[in-house]
Amino acid sequence: MALLEEITQPGDLRELSRPQLAELAAEIREVMIDTVTRVGGHLGPNLGVVELTIALHRVFDSPKDTLLWDIGHQTYVQKLLTGRHAAFDGLRLRGGISGYASRAESPHDVIENSHASTALSYADGLARARELTGESDRAVVAVIGDGALTGGLAWEALNNLGGAPRRPVIVVLNDNERSYAPTVGGLAAHLTRLRAAGAGHHPAGGNVFEEFGFGYLGPVDGHDTAALEEALTRATGLGGPVLVHVVTEKGRGWRPAETNDLDRCHVVRAAPKAVAPGAAAKAPAAPSWTSVFSEEMVRIGAERENVVALTAAMPEPVGLLDFLREFPERTIDVGIAEQHAAASAAGLALGGLHPVLAVYATFGNRLIDQMITDIALHSAPVTLVMDRAGITGDDGASHNGMWDLTLFQAVPNTRIAAPRDGTRLRELLREAVAWEEGPTVLRFPKGSSGEDIPALDSTEGFDVLHNAPGRDVLIVSVGPMARLALDVAERLAESGIGATVVDPRWVAPVNPTLVEAAAYFDRVVTLEDSGRTGGVGSAFAQALGDAGIDTPVRTFGIPRAFLDHGSRAQVLEDCGLTPGAVTAEILDWRQRRSPVTASGAPERTSL
């Protein structure tokens, strides 16, 4: 790693010869492959932008010139070139560097965007600001992939950028024919024609970027630093908005990625830890939540011809790949366009079908307007499945699925389910696709579904998981927090406190029978892997108040804060969502406040 260790700032790159640049690119790929295959992360996208990142930092003077990346998971190369080589072993680990661009780490990381299709809007605003303040000697460069360009927000920005012929912004289109999956739609076909026509030639039907008002350079070989530097230098001299069309190969330089036609190793999981010699073999892990959903969707698809599946460029990550293989004509990939997916789902429902739209919970934030005005307002029977709900951990603040319950609980006519285990996921998914009176939302976390947690009893729509004598505490657990709730109940019992644990299954709207049951208890505790602000606990407390029940409620969940990256367990511990921390809080709560029961509440020995 001789050359890479000598690069402490981007300016050092300008001292290297062409052969040295090729050697440096090889070293960077070696470091990324070695690190990411051990700790996990976004490998394929970064392998594809090695030469492009080098060229950008040789032509432009970052951070004086501003480089904006859409999206920030492809900035590993930039981290290595901007003084973070020694810290790269700690990628995505607690106390280490982020897996995304991070303003706290470096002035070269200008925006921390980790949702696609946003960088062009940043560029438009930043260029306008510099125009208004008279800064004319600082370039604004935005790198966006062809996959991210399928998002509608990117075209809103292109419309504004192209309409300002004297405002210089350089858009670098990183065309690798993919987002997570292969790029789809009319844009993909148009870029194919541009690539086929070659540099300096106009394809039949024209060039959409030129029609939008951009100067156009390319296509350029994205792995030829000399060609890249020439095109980028030319772009700076043209003035006005310019698009440089760069063709790259996702996963370049690593055979497992180059031969993976599915996603080119977009994300690589951390290598499993070695088992010590003589250690007892671990029992097989329970299937992931995503795989349980995947299996059940295929079964439902075989039984119900009206069920169709939608994905926003992520059929494999959200568990729809098997459904796609089994029912290709009933599987729709809209590209990185969650808003369009939701509105299109409303149209499918109007046409008599039952669409199941599966997204990561963090990306579900993007379709809230369509959920309100296009789906719920029309009582459209659409099922929204949110994978990776709650704490995801190592991808950092933006990827935790901690806003969904707050947002979607506010949507009228919407039912929300949170399964506690794999069996409940299957049951609730079936209930969701059978519901034709309005939209449903089904949320589950990242990782293993764990062992099933059977109910002791089921009554009026909720499950009783643990039933203690007395009426000390009612614990309302949301989804997979049931395991935490049961552990807390056992610890409270050791202190002589009886805790009954229930799982509402459908957490919104609040079950009125469960509200009535809360009147029997001295206290209510809610546990959720979501935001406390506007979460299930908040809604349950409001329902108690509306019913005139004065049983005090203590809500446990994720604080109103952006959370540092780390493992799921580490972040949950930071939030106080561990058996010991929750139990201690409840005991302290009891000591600080004398029991208050609802006036005239009947005696009980069990729920």
**Mean pLDDT in residue range 34-48:** 94
Q: How is 11-67 classified by DSSP, letter by letter?
A: GGGGG--HHHHHHHHHHHHHHHHHHHHHH-B--HHHHTTHHHHHHHHHHS-TTTSEE
Residue 284 pLDDT: 62
What is the domain partition of the chain in residue ranges? 2-258, 289-443, 461-592
> Tokens standing for 410?
């506010």
Q: Is the pLDDT of residue 281 over 70?
A: no
Residue 603 pLDDT: 42
| Mean pLDDT for the chain overall | 93
Contact 167, 215 (CB under 8 A): no
Residue 159 pLDDT: 97
Would the CATH topology of 2-258 be identical to that of 461-592? yes
Least confident segment among 260-264, 398-402, 468-472 = 260-264
Q: Is the pLDDT of residue 211 over 50?
A: yes
Q: How would residue 274 be classed by pLDDT, with cut points 50, 70 and 90?
A: low
Least confident segment among 257-266, 275-284, 402-411, 550-559 = 275-284
> Tokens standing for 94?
């607690």
CA atoms within 13 A on the CB side of 386: 33
Distance CA 447, CA 6 (A): 40
Q: One of 330, 338, 426, 528 is an active-site residue; which one? A: 338
Greater confidence, 394 or 539?
A: 539
The answer to whether 135 is a known catalytic residue is: no
User: Would you say 115 is a known binding-site residue?
Assistant: yes
Distance CA 264, CA 250 (A): 6
The share of the chain scoring above pLDDT 70, in percent, equals 95
Q: Is the pLDDT of residue 283 over 50?
A: yes
Q: Give pTM, 2 decimals.
A: 0.92
Secondary structure (3-state) at 244: strand
Q: How would residue 203 be classed by pLDDT, with cut points 50, 70 and 90?
A: confident
CA atoms within 13 A on the CB side of 249: 13
Residue 277 pLDDT: 61
- For residue 555, the 8-state DSSP code is E
Greater confidence, 64 or 115?
A: 64
Q: How is 314-352 classified by DSSP, letter by letter?
A: -TTTTT-HHHHHH-GGGEEE--S-HHHHHHHHHHHHHTT
Q: Is the pLDDT of residue 600 over 60?
A: no
Distance CA 521, CA 504 (A): 17
Residue 71: asked if its preceding bond is cis (omega within 30°), the reply is: yes
Distance CA 435, CA 429 (A): 10
Q: Which CATH architecture has domain 461-592?
A: 3-Layer(aba) Sandwich (3.40)
Residue 530 pLDDT: 93
Q: Is the pLDDT of residue 593 over 80?
A: no
The answer to whether 112 is a known catalytic residue is: no
**Mean pLDDT in residue range 394-406:** 87
3-state secondary structure 181-240: CECCCHHHHHHHHHHHHCCCCCCCCCCHHHHCCCEEEEEEECCCHHHHHHHHHHHHHHCC
Distance CA 402, CA 497 (A): 31
Residue 570 pLDDT: 92
Residue 605 pLDDT: 40
Q: How would residue 312 be classed by pLDDT, with cut points 50, 70 and 90?
A: very high
Question: Which residues 6+ apart lie within 8 Å of 378 measured at CB?
Answer: 346, 349, 350
- For residue 299, the 8-state DSSP code is H
The share of the chain scoring above pLDDT 90, in percent, equals 83
User: Would you say 148 is a known binding-site residue?
Assistant: yes
**Mean pLDDT in residue range 111-131:** 94
The answer to whether 366 is a known catalytic residue is: yes
> Tokens standing for 489?
């109940």
Residue 507 pLDDT: 98
Residue 509: asked if its preceding bond is cis (omega within 30°), the reply is: yes
Of 90, 170, 57, 87, nearest to 124 by C-alpha is 170
Burial class (CB in 10 A: 0-12, 13-18, 19+), 602: exposed
Q: One of 58, 84, 130, 366 is an active-site residue; which one? A: 366
User: Would you say 114 is a known binding-site residue?
Assistant: yes
> Tokens standing for 20?
């040295």
Q: How would residue 607 be classed by pLDDT, with cut points 50, 70 and 90?
A: low
Q: Is the pLDDT of residue 606 over 60?
A: no
Of 159, 183, 122, 575, nearest to 390 by C-alpha is 575
Residue 270 pLDDT: 82
Residue type, 465: L
Q: Is the pLDDT of residue 254 over 50?
A: yes
Residue 275 pLDDT: 56
Q: One of 79, 250, 491, 554 is an active-site residue; which one? A: 250
3-state secondary structure 130-176: HHHHCCCCCCEEEEEECCHHHCHHHHHHHHHHHCCCCCCEEEEEEEC
**Mean pLDDT in residue range 434-442:** 98
Q: Is the pLDDT of residue 529 over 90?
A: yes
pLDDT in tens, 262-271: 788 888 888 7
pLDDT in tens, 336-349: 999 999 999 999 99
Q: Which CATH architecture has domain 2-258?
A: 3-Layer(aba) Sandwich (3.40)
User: Would you say 116 is a known binding-site residue?
Assistant: yes
Distance CA 337, CA 322 (A): 21
* CA dist 13 → 46, 79, 318 (Å): 18, 14, 40
Q: Is the pLDDT of residue 601 over 70?
A: no
Q: How would residue 71 be classed by pLDDT, with cut points 50, 70 and 90?
A: confident
Q: How would residue 595 be classed by pLDDT, with cut points 50, 70 and 90?
A: very low
Beta strands 415-417 and 506-508 are: antiparallel
**Mean pLDDT in residue range 555-580:** 93
Domain 289-443, CATH number (from 3.40.50.970, 1.10.10.10, 3.40.50.2030, 3.40.50.620): 3.40.50.970
Distance CA 143, CA 530 (A): 33
Of 256, 234, 255, 253, nearest to 243 by C-alpha is 234
Q: Is the pLDDT of residue 291 over 60?
A: yes
